[in-house]
Amino acid sequence: MPRRPPPRRLLLPLPQLPDELKQNRLTLTAILKSREPLRYSPAGIPILNCRLVHQSEQVEAGLPRSVTCEIPAVAVGEVAKVLHSKQPETEWQFTGFLATKRRFETAELHIVEIKETPRAGPQDT
Amino acid sequence: MKLLRVALPVPVFREFDYLAPAAEAVLPGRCVRVRLGPRRLLGVVVDLPLESPVPRATLLAIDSYADDLPQVPPDVLALARFAADYYQYPLGLALQHAVPPRGRQGAPLRAEKPAAYRLTAAGAAGLRNLPARASRQAQLAAALAGGQSIARAELLANSPAAGAVLARWLASGWIELAAPEQDPEREGTALLPDLNAAQATAVQAIVAAAASFQTFLLHGVTASGKTEVYLSAAAAAIARGQQVLMLVPEINLTPQLADRIRRALPFARIVLLHSNLPDAQRLVAWRQAAEGDAQFVLGTRLAVFAPLPRLGLVVVDEEHDMSYKQQDGLRYVARDLAVYRARLRGVPVVLGSATPAMETLWQARAGRYLLLPLPERAIAGAPPAIRLVPQRDKQTIGGIAAALRAALAANLARGEQSLLFINRRGYAPSLLCAACAWAAQCHRCSARLVVHLGEQCLRCHHCGHEEPVPRACPRCGDQDLLPLGFGTQRLEGVLRELFPAARIARVDADSTRRKGTWASLLQAILDRELDILVGTQMMVKGHDFPGLTLVGVLGADNALYSADFRATERLFAQLTQVSGRAGRADLPGEVIIQTDFPAHPLYQSLLRHDYEAHAESLLAERRQLELPPCSRLALLRAEAAQRSAIESFLAAAHAEGQELARESGGVRVFPAVAARMARRAGFERAHILVQSAAMRPLQDFLGAWRAWLVDNAPRNVRWALDVDPQELD
C-alpha cells in the first residue's frame, strides 16, 4: 500500500554558504507604476503587488548608457500599507530582496523598505 | 422457572439465556431488564428454548419485564433478525433499532412530564407585551391564546426551544398545568389534488395491490407529482383502517412535508420519527405508532424499525438517496429493509424517485419491481432549460462564469430568486503556498484542511480538527498563502461584491448550525426576503421554492474525477434534483451548469432530461466491470493506529478469505488496498473488497469469514463488514 511521497522542493546542487554570508539585497530608485488593489492573506496580512519602473544612466564597459528596467514587486505586512499610501507615478527608493513566486517565473522585488529619493522629495513626472 | 433467550446490546454474536417465573406467558419480542456481569441491560426476548447449553444452576433470573416499553412486534423482530444476518451484525445490537430510544439505558423510564398547559389571567396580560423580536414566544402565545389546555408535545412541535420558554412562563405564573384534554376526534375529508392520467394509474395499481406484497418503482420526473400519488395511496390505506410508513432521506425535509401531509389528510394522526427529535418526543411517537393511534408515520431511515401493528403501505421517497445507508454500526440500507418489511407483512411498498438507483432499476427490469412511470410534469410548464457554460475562461470572475453572472443580474432585475449550488462549504477547499507548493494538511487524516475565513481557521471536514490560519508557510516562510478553489463562503463574498444591492444568504451546515436558523432562513426564502442563495446539497432536497427560477451549479465536475464507481450516478441524481428547484410554479426555470466537459455523456443526457440514456450507459459500464447491480459487493473495512497492524490483519484475512471462497463458488476476494482516505482521525485505513455474482454464495461466504474474523482479529484493529457498501472509500 504505497503512499504518495511529499512534493519535493527545487534544490540546486550548489556549494552551500552559511546564510549570513549570502547576499540578496537590491536598492532601486523607481517610479511606482500600476498597483493592484490591497489584498489580505488568509491570516489577515496585507499584501500589495505592483510594478516598478527604473530609469537612469549607468556606465557599462567604460561607456555611459541609459537604462530602463521594469520589474514586478510585492510588499507584505506594514510596508504594504505604506506602499498603498503612495501616489502612483511617484519616485521612491525601494529596498528589498529578490524572489520568484513559482518556478520559471521572473524574479519579484520583495520590498522591505521605502525611502524618499535622496535629492528631493517625491517628484511628479 | 422457564428459559428465555435474550438478545443483549453487546458486541458479541450470541444470545444469552435467563430464567423467568413460569407463571407468566411470554412471547418473543418482550423487553426485559437483566444483569450481565456488573452491567444492567435492556434486552429483548428472541426465543423460548426448552434447553440451554448453560447448566441451569448457573443461569441468572431476569430482573423484571420492561413492560413500560412497547414490545417488539413479530415482524420487527424478524426484520432485525434478517438485518443482523444480512449485514453480519450481532442481533442484540441490531435490535437496538427496534427498541424505542428512552429504554436503551435499561433504566426504568422516568414519569412523563405533565402533558398540557393552560394560559392564566396573568399570562394573558403579560403576553400582550412581548417584544416584537420574540417571534417564537409570540407563536407559543398564539397557540395558547384560545384559553384551552394544549398538549406539551404539540407546543414543543413548534420549536425545539419552546421547552425553555414554557418553563419560564410556568415559573412566572403565566401558564398553569392542566389535565390533557381528550384528543379531539380528527376529522375532515382528504384534500387531494386532481390526479393526471399517469398519477391515477399509479394510485390504482398501488391500491389494487393493497392486501399483497408488491414492490412498485414510482419513477417520476421532477415535479411529476410523486407526493400526490403517495398521499392518495396513503389516504386509501388509512380509509381501510391501516397505517402508513413513509421514509424520507433528510430530517430537513420533514417539517414541510409533514405540513403538506397534514393538509391533505386532516383526519390522520401524523407522527415524526427521526434522530433529531428529543428522546421523550420520540418515545411518544413510537408509542403512538405501536398502539396504532398514528395512522401516518413519517421518518428517516430509523423509522423502518417502528412498530406498526396495522401497517398497510410503505413508501420510500427519493429511494436512491445515500442517506438511507447507515454508515456505522448496523450498516443497513433502509430502502432494502423497507422492501423486506413489506414482504414480511404482505403489503405494497412504493419506491419513488426521479433518478432510481441502479439497483432498483435492475430489479424493475427483471420484473421483480413493478414500474409505475410518471413521464409528465404535473405542474404546467416546461422543464427548466439547462445550459452548460465553460467553468474556466477569461470572463470568469471569482469562479462565476460571465453567462451565469448575466443570468443572475437579469433574474435580480426581474425580482426572482436565484440559487448558486456548490457542494463545498467553507471559504476554499485548500490553502496553498505558491512558492514551495506546500498545502495545509490535516495531521490526522489524508486530507487537506479547508479554509474557513469567517472563523479564521483551517478545518478538517473529516475528523473535525481545527487550527488557526498560519501566518506564514511553515515550510518556506512565505506569508502570501493562497486559498485555492471555491467554497460557499468565498462565493458569498464574490456575490456581495458583484451584486451589492442584492439580499444574499448562505445555506450550509455552518450557517445553519444553530437550532432554528434553517427554519427561519427557509421562511425568509419563502417570504421572498432573499434574492440570491448560495447553498450546498442541504438546499436542494425536496424543498419547493416558488420564487426560485435560476439555479447555477459550480464545481459539478469534481464528481467526474472521483474514483468511486457510483460518483456519476450520484452526480446525475443530484443535478436532476438541483434542476428541479428551478421554476416550479408558473415561472419558467433556468439551470446553468459550469463545466469543463460539456461533451461528457452525463451532461448530454442531463440536457435532454434523459435518465434512460444515462442509466443505460451506467448499466453497460457496471456490466462490463461486474459492479452492482450486476454483482454484489461487500467490504471488510479495517482501521488501526499502526499501518503494520492492518496490513498483517488484512493479509491473514485475505488468505483465509481466499481459502473460504474456494469452497463457495463465484466469490472473489480481492487483495487489501489502502482506503481512498488512507488515514482518518489518526487511524490508518484499508479494506478488502469481496465480489460475487449472486447474493446467496456471498452471504454463505461472509458468515464463515465473519466467524474467522471474530476469532482472529487482533485487539488493536477495528474492523467491520459492510455489505452492499455505498461508498468504496
Task: Return the higher-pLDDT residue of B484 and A4.
Answer: B484
What pLDDT is recorded for position B153?
Answer: 67
Range B158-162, long-range pairs (CB < 8 A, 24+ positions): B159/B516, B159/B519, B160/B278, B160/B515, B160/B516, B161/B136, B161/B515, B161/B516, B162/B136
* Rounded alpha-carbon distances, angstroms, from residue A77 to A84, A112, B73, B478, B547: 11, 9, 69, 12, 46
Q: What is the DSSP letter of B449?
A: P
Which chain B residue lies closest to A104 (C-alpha atoms)? B435
Look at residue B34 and tell me whether its pLDDT is greater than 80.
Answer: yes
Q: Do the Cβ atoms of B456 and A74 come within 8 Å?
A: no
The average confidence (pLDDT) of chain B is: 89
CA distance B56 to chain A (A): 52
Whole-angstrom Cα distance, residue B555 to residue B509?
18
* Rounded alpha-carbon distances, angstroms, from residue B175 to B154, B165, B184: 15, 11, 22
Grid cell at residue B286: 413510537
Residue type for position A66: S
Look at residue B461 and tell me whether its pLDDT is greater than 90.
Answer: yes
Instruction: Find the CB nearest A42 among B475, B483, B643.
Output: B483
What pLDDT is recorded for position B61?
Answer: 94
- Which of A1, A19, A79 would best serve as a mutation to test chain B binding (most B beta carbons within 10 A)? A1
Q: Do the Cβ atoms of A43 and B672 come within 8 Å?
A: no
Q: Do the Cβ atoms of A42 and B453 come within 8 Å?
A: yes
Q: Which three-class secondary structure state does DSSP give residue A33?
A: strand
Which chain A residue lies closest to B644 (C-alpha atoms)? A1
Task: Return the higher-pLDDT residue of B347 and B516.
Answer: B347
CA distance A53 to chain B (A): 23
Look at residue B36 and tell me whether its pLDDT is greater than 80.
Answer: yes
Q: Do the Cβ atoms of B479 and A9 come within 8 Å?
A: no
Grid cell at residue B648: 498483517
Decide if B320 contacts B573 (C-beta within 8 A). yes
Region B86-92: mean pLDDT is: 97
Band the pLDDT of B484: cuts 50, 70, 90. Answer: very high
Which chain A residue lies closest to B475 (C-alpha atoms)? A9
Which chain B residue lies closest to A101 (C-alpha atoms)? B435
Look at residue B149 and tell me whether its pLDDT is greater than 80.
Answer: no
Instruction: Find the CB nearest B674 among A1, A7, A100.
Output: A1
Break chain A into its structural domains and give their ranges.
Answer: 22-67+77-116
**Mean per-residue pLDDT pooled into runs of 10, chain A (125 residues):** 51 70 93 93 94 96 95 96 94 95 84 85 50
Structure confidence by residue, pLDDT tens digits, B400-425: 999 999 999 999 999 999 999 999 99
Grid cell at residue B465: 480538527
**Chain centre distance of CA B185:** 33
Grid cell at residue B281: 418526543
Q: What is the dihedral of CA B185, B189, B195, B201, to 10 degrees?
A: 70
Instruction: Find the CB nearest B471 among A43, A47, A74.
Output: A43
Look at residue B287 and tell me whether its pLDDT is greater than 80.
Answer: yes
Region B100-107: mean pLDDT is: 58
* Superfamily of B632-723 according to CATH: Ribosomal protein S10 (3.30.70.600)
Q: Do the Cβ atoms of B469 and A42 come within 8 Å?
A: yes
CA distance A61 to chain B (A): 36
Whole-angstrom Cα distance, residue B707 to residue B46?
21
Instruction: Find the CB nearest A76 among B431, B451, B479.
Output: B479
- In B, which residues are within 8 Å of A50 by CB distance? none
Which chain B residue lies closest to A7 (C-alpha atoms)? B437
- In A, which residues are within 8 Å of B678 by CB distance? 1, 3
Residue that the C-alpha cell 401524523 belongs to? B270
Neighbour count for residue A112 (Cβ, 10 Å): 14
Structure confidence by residue, pLDDT tens digits, B242-267: 999 999 997 766 677 888 898 899 98
Please count the residue pairs, one from chain A and one from chain B, whose beta carbons lie less than 8 angstroms apart: 51
Decide if B166 contacts B118 (C-beta within 8 A). no
List the CATH code of the domain at B2-98: 3.40.1440.60
Neighbour count for residue B242 (Cβ, 10 Å): 20
Structure confidence by residue, pLDDT tens digits, B357-392: 999 999 999 999 999 999 988 776 778 899 999 988
Strand partners, A51: A72
Whole-angstrom Cα distance, residue B143 to residue B153?
12
List the CATH code of the domain at A22-67+77-116: 2.40.50.140
Q: What is the DSSP letter of B126?
A: H
* Rounded alpha-carbon distances, angstroms, from residue B629 to B40, B436, B693: 44, 45, 10
Domain with CATH 3.40.50.300 in chain B: 197-374, 385-428+485-621
Which chain A residue lies closest to B476 (C-alpha atoms)? A9
Q: pLDDT above 70 covers what percent of chain B? A: 93
Phi, psi of B297 (to 5 degrees): -105, 120
Q: ipTM greater than 0.90, yes or no?
A: no
- In B, which residues are within 8 Å of A43 by CB distance? 456, 468-472, 479, 481
pTM of the prediction?
0.86
- Which of B457, B480, B646 would best serve as a mutation to test chain A binding (most A beta carbons within 10 A)? B480
Q: What is the DSSP letter of B285?
A: H
Q: Do the Cβ atoms of B437 and A41 come within 8 Å?
A: no
- In A, which residues are within 8 Å of B673 by CB distance? 1
Structure confidence by residue, pLDDT tens digits, B542-589: 677 888 999 999 999 999 998 889 999 999 999 998 888 887 667 788
Q: Do the Cβ atoms of B481 and A41 come within 8 Å?
A: yes
- In B, which residues are within 8 Å of A41 by CB distance? 471, 479-481
Instruction: Find the CB nearest B470 among A43, A47, A101.
Output: A43
What pLDDT is recorded for position B102?
Answer: 59
CATH among 3.40.50.300, 3.40.50.2300, 3.40.50.10860, 2.60.40.420 for B197-374: 3.40.50.300
Three-class HEC string of B600-613: CHHHHHHHCCCHHH
What pLDDT is recorded for position A125?
Answer: 47
CA distance B656 to chain A (A): 20
Q: Do the Cβ atoms of A1 and B469 come within 8 Å?
A: no
Which chain B residue lies closest to A3 (C-alpha atoms)? B678
- In B, which residues are within 8 Å of A42 by CB distance? 427, 431, 451, 453, 469, 481, 483
CA distance B506 to chain A (A): 20
Q: Which three-class secondary structure state does DSSP give residue B96?
A: helix
* Rounded alpha-carbon distances, angstroms, from residue B292 to B295, B308, B396, B548: 7, 6, 58, 40
- In B, which residues are within 8 Å of A76 by CB distance? 479-480
* Rounded alpha-carbon distances, angstroms, from residue B301 to A99, B91, B157, B524, B539: 57, 18, 20, 29, 20
- In A, which residues are within 8 Å of B468 by CB distance? 43
What pLDDT is recorded for position B111?
Answer: 41
- The string of DSSP codes covering B337-355 is HHHHHHHHHT-EEEEEESS
Q: Which three-class secondary structure state does DSSP give residue B614?
A: helix
Q: What is the DSSP letter of B273?
A: E
Decide if B151 contacts B175 (C-beta within 8 A). no
What pLDDT is recorded for position B629?
Answer: 95
CA distance A111 to chain B (A): 13
Residues ≥6 apart with Cβ < 8 Å to A105: none
Q: What is the DSSP letter of B195?
A: P
CA distance A88 to chain B (A): 23
* Superfamily of B385-428+485-621 according to CATH: P-loop containing nucleotide triphosphate hydrolases (3.40.50.300)
Decide if B227 contacts B318 (C-beta within 8 A). no
Band the pLDDT of B108: cuts 50, 70, 90. Answer: very low
Region B198-216: mean pLDDT is: 95
Which chain B residue lies closest to A47 (C-alpha atoms)? B480
Whole-angstrom Cα distance, residue B4 to residue B18?
5
Whole-angstrom Cα distance, residue B300 to residue B318?
11
What pLDDT is recorded for position B650?
Answer: 97
Whole-angstrom Cα distance, residue B222 to residue B383?
8
- Which of A41, A47, A101, A110 would best serve as a mutation to test chain B binding (most B beta carbons within 10 A)? A41
**Chain centre distance of CA B598:** 31
Residues ≥6 apart with Cβ < 8 Å to B519: B159, B255
